[in-house]
Amino acid sequence: MTTEQTLMERSGSQCELCSSTNDLSVFAIPPENDTSNPDQCILTCDNCRGQISQSETMDANHWRCLNDSMWSQVPAVQVMAWRLLNRLSTEGWAQSLLDMMYLDDETRQWAESGINTDESEAPTLDSNGSVLSAGDTVTLIKDLPVKGAGFTAKRGTAVRSISLTDNPEQIEGRVNGVRIVLLTKYLKKA
């Protein structure tokens, strides 16, 4: 059985991301790009494939379909959904889905290994100089008043599943159910 036949059977002959049945083909999940191994591939429609390959053409509303596909039991689909949600994390709904998404350790490593990172970018460091990554847990080392939210984030509060920003001196996370930007100089990796 070919990879395409295996994926057609696994997906019910529809795109594993958006459920479209038009122009389906095999898409290998980077960094492997091995189309002979169905466990490292997904079946995608032409629309999804085009937006994955050319991120500047991404239509955020198209990707609302990830609300369903992120719960797939197929690790390759989970990896692609996680990566796409990370790309769209500036959209409030995408960040909320990302916060809900669970990946086991092996699948998370695979998902993170394929994210394009510019080597010239400065790493995000906590107050002790430890490198922070998306999904890490950090602890506040100082009471911080949260402007506009009317509360103070207390020292010792754990912030789970952080998101990195374009600024290496800031991260995003939820404190008291509110998504806020925190300065890394007031955090330590847990």
In this structure, what DSSP letter does residue 132 have? P
User: Which residues are bridge partners to 182 per DSSP?
Assistant: 171
The pLDDT assigned to 42 comes to 94
Q: Give the pLDDT of residue 119.
A: 43
Range 84-110 burial, b when 16+ CB lie within 10 A, else e: bbbbbbebeebbebbeebebeeeebeb
Angle at 127 between CA 125 and CA 130, to 5 degrees: 45
Measure the CA–CA gap between 182 and 25, rounded to whole angstroms: 42
Placement of tokens 């795109």 in the chain? 15
- What would be the CATH architecture of the domain defined by 138-189? Roll (2.30)
Beta strand ranges found along 33-189 (DSSP E) = 41-44, 138-140, 144-146, 151-153, 158-159, 163-164, 170-175, 178-183, 187-189
The pLDDT value given to residue 55: 72
Sign of torsion over alpha carbons 57, 59, 64, 68: negative
Please choose, from the candidates 78, 60, 89, 73, the residue with its C-alpha nearest in 3D space to the C-alpha of residue 179.
Answer: 89
Parse the chain into domains and list their residue ranges: 3-113, 138-189
Phi-psi region for residue 147, left (φ > 0), alpha (ψ -120 to 50) or beta? beta
Task: Give the pLDDT score at 90.
Answer: 81
* pLDDT value for 118: 44
Each residue's pLDDT tens digit in the chain (190 positions)?
Answer: 888 999 999 999 999 999 999 999 999 988 777 778 889 999 999 999 888 887 777 888 999 999 999 999 999 999 999 999 988 888 889 888 988 999 999 999 998 886 654 444 678 899 988 889 888 999 999 999 988 888 999 999 999 999 988 888 999 999 988 889 999 999 999 8
